[in-house]
Amino acid sequence: MINNTAHEKVLKNRYLLKILLKLVQQNNRRQQIQSYRYNELNNLEWILENGYEGLLKMIFDKGELEQRLSVSTKAVELFFTRVKDRQLLLSIYNQHPLLFCRDDTIKWACSRGDVEIVKMLVKQTKPLALQLGDLSLYAAIQSNSIELVKYIAPLQSKTIKIAIVCNTSNKEMIEYVFDQVNGGRNRRKLINVDLLINQPTLFNWAITSYPTECVWSYKSSTIMPQIIKEVYNACQATDPKQYLANSKIPFKDIYNAVREIIDRKKEQPKIPLVDLEQRMIKIDKDNDPIYYPMAIVLAFDDSHQVIGRFLRYLVKTDHPFLYSLAGENIDFVLCPTKLSFPDDIHSVTTGQAKLFYFELALPPINCIDSVGLFDFVYDNLILKMTEEKRVMWVVQVFDNAINQCNHALVQYLSQKLPETASIKWSFNISREDATIQDIIDMSKLLTDTGHFANSFSQTVISNISHPTLHLTEYILKSLSTTTISLALPVLFYCQNDYLLKAIFDQTKESVTLDSILNAELSDFIIRYRPDNLKSVLTGEIHEKHGERISIGWNGIHMLLKSICMFRNLDLLKYLLDLIRNQKFIEDPIDTVASMVAEFGTVEFIQYIICRYRLGRIQLTSMQKTACSKGNLENFIFLIEQTELDPAGFVRYTHGTNKSNYQMHRSAHQSILDGEIQVQTTIQVAAYCHHLHIIEYLYNSNYLFHNSTKLHVIKKYLLESCTTKTTQKYISKLKDK
């Protein structure tokens, strides 16, 4: 335990503090692409998947949930199954019920096991009654809440159309379902014993008491992946055998249960257990911890990935089973002379190499991690290949050695590569524990040996500031042989514009940014490297090389979308000023208005209205975009906080609610044509399950205009519905 005195000593030590801050900074750079700034948050699913419940509460408390976060079907499932704060869940649901009303809402609530929440949803009539799907009882049983099952079963048991499956390890639950729950006519009750096979007493009780009702499937098992993962974890440990021996998974009990399942013909193995036992007879089943995991899994799964996991264990422990199989030439799923070596093994002995490589056409690259092993494989196998294949293989090993920061092997291979060989490879460091100094040292080594990369990974570029001794010179030297269009995309990831300036200085080529921008790069630039973009478009780089830099509509469009998605109003102003001042293209008023309505916020809309002289056509288009994309706050603002001035241009009103609904109007002032357009737009909202949009339109009397009746609109909407919940909500709408 570290006391406060120790903390003080570190904080007062400038050298240690500098190192700590540098490490924090490096970690921040690594995590940037996986994180959001608060103003960039735009979807609930990401928040819940990453467990940021406190962030969700903060957004809700600020009253920004509906305006800030899109709510997907997956987000609704996570909302009911992941949110731990019960009061937060209830508060959010009660304030925004339409966002969370889906076909499976009650089923997801049942998975939570909270009977009071389920009762609330079942009894709900407003804004609509939710359906009790067939899987609700199944989810309730899985939750292990008998109280919930007692509530759900009477509501559903007579109408359920599928078998009632007990997927639980709760004996009381199983007994209750079989004794008390009415399955209805011809409705079977089954027990999935997957959660019981690691509990001998409970498994034996179930298989004896309900012999015909017990079922099990390897493919749907949750226990089998745990066994495979445990073998993988063992391979990561210093002593794999000891790790597996100390495992809390009862492998022998599971094996005995699986044997019983097979004997009762409830699942058919790919390899009979008796054959497996015979082929594994030289493994001591009582003392060797790999025996039972291997026998359990390989009886059902002979996929390359699964076999690779066990091979990795056998190789890392240098298990005698490998050699006995090869020596006896047994036709066995694990026989190494019949199978390519798994790619994820990075350490092989020469003896193992002899065992594996002689029958392979091309040895796996990842295994070559030492000079001795390289020489063995090269002399015994690679020399038999054509020169072209030999060079290709050596280049691949060379590339992998760089990725793993294997300096000794890189030094050795640099002498093996023919000087005339055309080598194309990317500088990337994939070793997890590699430091910035490792990357710098590797660049120095490659410079000394005269080997320059054709490209660089984003990780290498974005995690290090420039100029940096050795590395900066190496990058520029490497990229000097490629075109600026190929060099620029990765250099935009740099922490500053040093390398961008340098690459422009060392070439006379022209470049159009349209050719290098894609969605991923554009998003990254807008979120993390706006200064680099400004330097190229209007700053120091542009002042010096502007005549060679151009950007067209495709590039502008890409940047505008990223700006609106990540809600950077200052950058929007900058880019629109750039368009006006530099005259790269005409002002894209219609496109900007549409993007702002779809991705932006009310603040963005206010700015666009003030900046441009938007007419009724643009306003109508913005309302349609916000409607079809489900952005309720923008939609309401565009109707209630805007008006057309005497000259016919849009202006927004401060705090005075208007009724400036334009969606029923067409570009040609034709009411009929406009009504067709509004029907199409609202159909999209129905198709996308934007119930909150439809509710607003209905309550505001915008669902019908002039001669159009509600039943006509409902007909179009019902044809567009993709869920029963949407159909139910629209069907209950009544003429006013």
Task: For residue 276, name the pLDDT band (cuts at 50, 70, 90).
Answer: confident
91 and 48 part of one domain: yes
Q: Domain for residue 606, yes or no?
A: no
Establish if 16 belongs to a structural domain.
yes
Q: What's the rounded Cα separation, in Å, for the pair 717 and 735? A: 15
Dihedral-angle region of residue 466 (phi above 0 means left; psi in -120 to 50 means alpha; beta otherwise): beta
Q: Give 101 or 42, the one with higher predicted confidence.
A: 101
Distance CA 76, CA 45 (A): 8
How much of the chain, in percent, has pLDDT values that exceed 70? Answer: 85
| The pLDDT of residue 342 is above 60 | no
> What is the per-residue DSSP string for 118-130?
HHHHHH--SS-PP
Instruction: Give CA–CA dist 382/365, Å, rounded.
Output: 12
The residue from 58, 74, 100 where one domain ends is 100
Confidence (pLDDT) at 424:
79
Least confident of 199-208, 373-382, 622-631: 373-382
Q: Residue 480: which region, alpha, beta or left (left: phi > 0; alpha: psi -120 to 50)?
A: alpha
In a domain, 548, yes or no: no
Contact present, 96 and 70 (Cβ < 8 Å): no
Look at residue 303 in the predicted model and tell me its pLDDT.
Answer: 84
- Let me know whether 73 and 50 are in one domain: yes
pLDDT attached to residue 17: 63
DSSP 278-314: HHTTTS-TTT-TTHHHHHHHHTT---HHHHHHHHHHH
258 within domain boundaries: no
Strand partners, 191: 166, 214
More confident residue, 336 or 213: 213
Do the domain assignments include residue 643? no
Domain of residue 63 covers 41-100
Q: Which residue has the higher pLDDT, 188 or 519?
A: 519
* Residue 47 and residue 67 in one domain: yes
The amino acid present at 249, given as its one-letter code, is I
- Say what the pLDDT of residue 30 is: 46
3-state secondary structure 676-707: HHHHHHHHHHHHCCCHHHHHHHHHCCCCCCCC
Contact 462, 493 (CB under 8 A): yes
Say yes or no: 8 and 46 in one domain. Answer: no
Choose the weakest-confidence range: 216-230, 441-455, 668-682. Answer: 668-682
190-238 confidence digits (pLDDT tens): 999 999 999 999 999 999 999 999 999 999 999 999 999 999 999 989 9
Least confident span in 503-517, 534-548, 677-691: 677-691
Q: Kindly state whether residue 18 falls inside one of the protein's structural domains.
A: yes
For residue 33, pLDDT beyond 60? no
The token duo for 562 is 């990223």
* Mean pLDDT, residues 255-263: 97
pLDDT at 115: 97
Question: Is the pLDDT assigned to residue 25 strictly greater than 60?
Answer: no
Burial of 645 (0-12, 13-18, 19+ CB in 10 A): exposed
For tokens 């490490």, name the residue. Answer: 23
Listed range (79-88, 249-258, 443-452, 658-667) with the worst mean pLDDT = 658-667
Q: How many residues does the chain have?
A: 736
Mark which of 100, 120, 144 sits at the end of a domain. 100
Q: How far apart are the first and last CA of the chain?
A: 70
Number of domains within the chain = 2
Confidence check: pLDDT of 563 > 90: yes
pLDDT higher than threshold 70 for residue 10:
no
User: What per-residue confidence (pLDDT) applies to 360?
Assistant: 44
Is residue 299 one of the residues assigned to a domain? no
Q: Would you say residue 533 has pLDDT above 70?
A: yes
- What lies within 8 Å, CB to CB, of 575 at 6+ separation is 556, 559, 560, 563
Residue 312 lies in a domain: no
Average pLDDT, the chain: 86
- Matching residue, tokens 């957004």: 59
Residues above pLDDT 90, as percent of the chain: 58
| pLDDT surpasses 60 at 604 | yes
pLDDT over 80 at 619, yes or no: yes
Residues 48 and 78 in one domain: yes
Of 84, 100, 116, the residue at which a domain comes to its end is: 100
Give alpha helix (H) positions in 157-250: 171-180, 200-209, 223-236, 240-245
What does the angle CA 254 – CA 257 – CA 258 come to, to the nearest 5 degrees?
Answer: 85
d(CA 242, CA 240): 6
pLDDT bin (cut points 50, 70, 90) of residue 492 is: very high
**Helix orientation angle between 602-611 and 569-582, rounded to the nearest 10 degrees:** 20
pLDDT band (50, 70, 90) for residue 336: very low
Confidence band of 359 (pLDDT split at 50, 70, 90): very low
Q: Pick the more confident residue, 628 or 345.
A: 628
